[in-house]
Amino acid sequence: MSTDPDGESVSAQQSADLTTLLALLDLERVDDDLFIGQHPEQVGPRTFGGQLLGQGIVAAGRTLVKGDPPVHAVNAHFVRGGDVAKPLEYHVDRFRDGRPFANRQVTAMQDGEVIFTMLVAFQNNAAGLEHAVEIPEVAYPEDLPPIGEHFVGYEETVEAFVNALHPIDIRFVNDPAWKLKGTGEQLNHNRAWMKTDGVMPDDPLLHVAALAYSSDTTVLDSIITTHGLSWGFDRLFAATVNHSMWFHREFRFDEWLLYATESPVAAGSRGIGTGRFFTRDGTLAASVVQEALIKYFPPRS
């Protein structure tokens, strides 16, 4: 068990919900390439996409020999909504093993049906050309309220969010959609600082998995705020179709990262959200693209 500089154990610093997330990521290994994942008590109508991403990354990573290359990309497709009352089987196919590169396919199944499938690519970092976009100018997380303060007065409006698992400390730079709704403002981007709500173990794979889990939290918000809409207030249906991530540099997710998201397009009842995770010093650590089925049902006149 790792400790912080003052000697306090990691487990003593973890929030209860972060402990739950780490338990979700601690998959049961049934065979070399078969893992079982569980659901938390706090669930929605179907398996949270971030949970599938995080557990799938862990399943893929656990089939590599320690010291093999780190995760550099994931490309996931959501096939069916998972049954939150049943465990998930993660089947791993090994496509390539090597020192600079390794590739895995992870398939999540329930009752013999595919729920989710994901390609996971691993590659060693090496010196080469480097450039990146700059971090947006935003307030620091210490100057921003925790997400719980944004729920006050909206407990019934966004009840699903209030009652969800909260292993991630989220500090919105701009107001979230449900508060923007009252102002009539249309916002084509969203910014939020994020980190785990407590100290994480040192395993880099868990930091990648936890970041993937959190990447599914606010990435679609810019689709609806571009139109002045909000979860809870407006009749909206959203379901993730696919989700891709690229990990550019090493990071710790128990330290603040800025998740800067926007939506370049919505068409054909689908919308795309893109996001970038920046470390506090402005380094671009990871990039995200998610496509979702999203439908808006205007009120009848």
Domains along the sequence of the chain with CATH:
10-125+143-296 (2.40.160.210)
290 classed as catalytic = yes
A 10 A CB-CB count for 150 gives 19
Distance, CA of 70 to CA of 251 (rounded, Å): 12
Residue 102 is predicted with a pLDDT of 95
Place of tokens 């500089």: 5
Distance, CA of 44 to CA of 193 (rounded, Å): 24
Q: What is residue 50's three-state secondary structure? A: helix
Position 97, amino acid = D
Q: pLDDT (tens digit, 9 = 90+) per residue, 111-144?
A: 999 999 999 999 998 889 999 999 999 999 999 9
Q: pLDDT (tens digit, 9 = 90+) per residue, 59-74?
A: 999 999 876 899 999 9
- Which of 44, 3, 70, 81 minimizes the C-alpha distance to 209? 70
CA 221 to chain CA centroid, Å, is 13
Contact 44, 207 (CB under 8 A): no
216 classed as catalytic = yes
Those residues of the chain that have pLDDT short of 50 are: 1-11
Q: Which of 17, 169, 197, 216 is catalytic?
A: 216
Instruction: Say how many CA atoms lie within 13 Å of 265 toward its Cβ.
Output: 6
Q: Which of 51, 217, 240, 261 is catalytic?
A: 240
